[in-house]
A and B are shown apart, each in its own frame.
Chain A
């Protein structure tokens, strides 16, 4: 592995008695799109602000590009930030906002103006330079904030929930644009978000944070398919959690799952480690399937009763009550041609697969 661009070593942060960051160890590679994901209050924004230099760390070491960041103020760090509120200077024009950080740049004025124009073009705001900043829409502000940070060619671009103020459509559009932008400029992006979908769509790697700690750090697919704990599993997407009991032995792991029966699973299906005894077992809604009339399967089958139906157009979400399972199983089904939408109370068969089980550490 190449030398990490950002290296954090047991970073702790206290606000008075409140322990906001509890020993964060983190390596971020050059050119990576990295996300800090977690519920509000988990410390993800605090961590981002310590990287930017707006907050001191209480203890621990931080290196950016091999340089110790101890007592290096924000204005001397090779990082730039896109703020949640965008922080566009209301008394300046768009071009003045974008060129704000170029004041010390020794290039002649005309070249700086050209750089501003290029930065605006990069974010799709060509010709907006003379506009007053306060007259921009939310999406345009976001683009100005991006151009303003990227024009300085930082080693790391920090993004603090940059999409949370936008409406759904705009958000999805900006997600795609951000990915495209990141690939074209090759700058390391660190994104803070509480939106798991956003993190999954955009990131190369994600650190899921809870209460000042990193719960799991992995690429999106691993995070989704192999969550290492119950809280990660429940935070990322939907997950049916069933009580289970692990009995060790054999090459894999043997686990008794409530309502589903005994199952053999591979060791990588227990990423949090295996301990014999009571445990929780997760299974994603889309890996379960309703067997409609006449359908047969080689997978394992349990019987249940439809408890709730939510029709979404392309998908239908069912809750199916199965004997021995405490909560109804959440099942999502694509509405393919010829598939009916079942009514509440219908008896049905549910197919499931041992390979889609995840044994979750407590």
Chain B
């Protein structure tokens, strides 16, 4: 009974299929996360890392106000981006699913993914061109005589970060909502109207509850990665628009304090996970309660 015969059994074949991606995931996900966790309990001692186990990093994060401020600001920005993105994505997904003829739907989805053809960085720079002091919006509005002075609240602050991120994540929100809407049996909508509901009440009683899985997916898909984004706040946020991810990057790369950066990263990760879980649980409860 060699390994050769075991490989031909049901379990053996399953294992052969699973092992390569499992190893891949282990190398690229579990090990780095493990390393981050480990680092967060060490301390930086000028050029070397002191490997004695300590909670000093967490103590510092808890006692230094700037970290809390950045974390709260990050959660606020991610939360706002999520709400804005999902609110804007829902009508688009609804339109494509319900009003675009079936043979045009794939074309529409294709058009929605066009922003991905250019690099993320270039799109961020394009927003700079649009929102800038002498940018498209300001010179346009000035040319029309609507404003005298260029608007300053649209670049190098939190607003600019929110606008840019909401645009960047729009397709990620549109697609899951679209899929959920596509799965709704259209006769359910007719049934609702047949039973006396208007189009609006049909939407509230049938379409919206049935599209909740897509909405939940969209919220999580937008909320979770935006916490970790540091490119957009770096380029668009100015001094007042820096987020927790920028601080993590600074700790790792500029201040050469990997252990503190690791601890910050973990705190951010745990916060996001906690908020997401609460959101999912609330949502489940709300859906079941109906």
Chain A residues in 8 Å Cβ range of B193 = 54, 73-75
Decide: B287 and A91 in contact? CB cutoff 8 A: yes
CB pair B210 A83 closer than 8 Å: no
Which one of B43-51, B78-86, B195-203, B221-229 is at the interface?
B195-203
Q: Does A89 contact B (CB under 8 A)?
A: yes
CA distance A148 to B194 in the complex (A): 11
Contact: B196 with A81, CB < 8 Å? no
**Structural contact, A74 and B190, CB atoms closer than 8 A:** yes
Q: Within the complex, what minimum Cβ distance (angstroms) separates B182 from chain A?
A: 15
A81→B187 CA distance, assembly (Å): 11
Q: Tell me if A101 is interfacial: C-beta within 8 Å of chain B.
A: yes
Q: Which of B180-198 contact A (CB under 8 A)?
A: 185, 187-188, 190-198
For B196, the chain A residues whose CB sits under 8 A away are: 75-76, 101, 103-104, 152
Instruction: List chain B residues, Cβ under 8 A from A103.
Output: 196-197, 201, 205
Interface of chain B, main secondary structure: helix
Contact indicator A80/B209 (Cβ below 8 Å): no
A100 to B192, CA, bound (A): 8
Most buried by A among B194, B198, B210: B194
User: B287 → chain A, closest Cβ, in Å?
Assistant: 7
Closest to B212 in A: A91
How far, in angstroms, from A76 to B194 measured CA to CA in the complex? 8
Interfacial residues of chain A within 305-335, with CB under 8 A of chain B in the complex: none
Residues in A whose Cβ lies below 8 Å from that of B188: 87, 89
A75 near B210: Cβ-Cβ < 8 Å: no
- Whether A54 contacts B190 in the complex (CB less than 8 A), given A85-B185, A91-B210, A91-B287, comes out as yes
Report the minimum CB–CB distance from B221 to chain A (whole Å): 22
Shortest CB distance B285–A (Å): 14
Judged by a CB distance under 8 angstroms, whether A26 is at the interface is no
For residue B290, CB closer than 8 A to chain A, the reply is: yes
CA of A100 to CA of B194, assembled, Å? 11
CB of B185 within 8 A of CB of A87, answer yes
Tell whether, in the assembled complex, residue A91 and residue B187 are in contact, meaning their CB atoms are under 8 Å apart: no
In the assembled complex, which residues on chain B have CB atoms less than 8 Å from the CB atom of A83?
A: 187, 190-191
| Chain B: minimal CB distance from A273 (Å) | 41
A127 in the interface, Cβ–Cβ < 8 Å? no
Q: CB-CB < 8 A to B197: which residues of A?
A: 75, 103
B206 within 8 A of A: yes
Q: Which residues of B contact A80 (CB under 8 A)?
A: 194-195
How far, in whole Å, are A81 and B209 apart by their CA atoms in the complex? 22
Residue tally, chain B, CB below 8 Å to A: 19
Whether A91 pairs with B185 at a CB distance below 8 angstroms is no
Question: CA of A76 to CA of B192 in the docked complex: distance in angstroms?
Answer: 12
Residues of A in contact (CB 8 Å), total 25
- Neighbour of B210 across the interface among A76, A90, A148, CB < 8 A: A90
Partner of A148, one of B195, B205, B209: B195
Kindly state the separation between the CA atoms of A83 and B194 in the bound complex, as whole angstroms: 10
Tell me whether A113 is interfacial, beta carbon within 8 Å. Answer: no
How far, in whole Å, are A96 and B191 apart by their CA atoms in the complex?
14
A52 part of interface (Cβ distance < 8 Å): yes
The answer to whether residues A101 and B187 also contact, given A89-B206, A90-B210, A91-B287 and a CB cut-off of 8 A, is no
A24 interfacial by beta-carbon distance below 8 Å: no
Query: Which residue of chain A is the closest to B192 with respect to CB atoms?
Result: A100
Minimal Cβ-Cβ distance residue in A for B184: A90
Q: Is A92 an interface residue (CB 8 A)?
A: yes
Closest chain B residue to A85 by CB distance?
B187
Residues of B within 8 A of A74 (CB): 190, 193-194
The reply to whether A87 and B210 contact each other, CB–CB distance below 8 Å, is no
CA distance A180 to B259 in the complex (A): 78
Residues of chain B within 8 A (CB-CB) of A92 are 290
Q: Are B194 and A91 in contact (CB under 8 A)?
A: no
CA distance A327 to B185 in the complex (A): 47
- Contact in complex: B209, A101 (CB < 8 Å): no
Which chain B positions have C-beta within 8 A of A104?
196
Q: For B190, what are the chain A residues with a Cβ–Cβ distance below 8 Å?
A: 54, 74, 81, 83, 87
Cα separation A104 to B196 with both chains bound (whole Å): 8
CB contacts (< 8 Å) of B287 on chain A: these are 91
**B197-247 interface with A by 8 A CB criterion:** 197-198, 201, 205-206, 209-210
7 pairs of residues in contact across A and B, judged by CB atoms under 8 Å: A54-B193, A75-B196, A83-B190, A85-B187, A87-B185, A87-B190, A91-B210
Q: A85-B187, A89-B191, A91-B287 are in contact. List 15 more A-B contacts (CB 8 A).
A: A54-B190, A54-B194, A73-B193, A74-B190, A74-B193, A75-B194, A75-B197, A80-B194, A84-B187, A87-B185, A87-B191, A91-B290, A104-B196, A148-B195, A152-B196
Q: State the 9 A-B residue pairs at the shortest beta-carbon distance, nearest first.
A: A101-B195, A87-B191, A87-B187, A74-B193, A75-B193, A83-B187, A81-B194, A91-B209, A75-B196
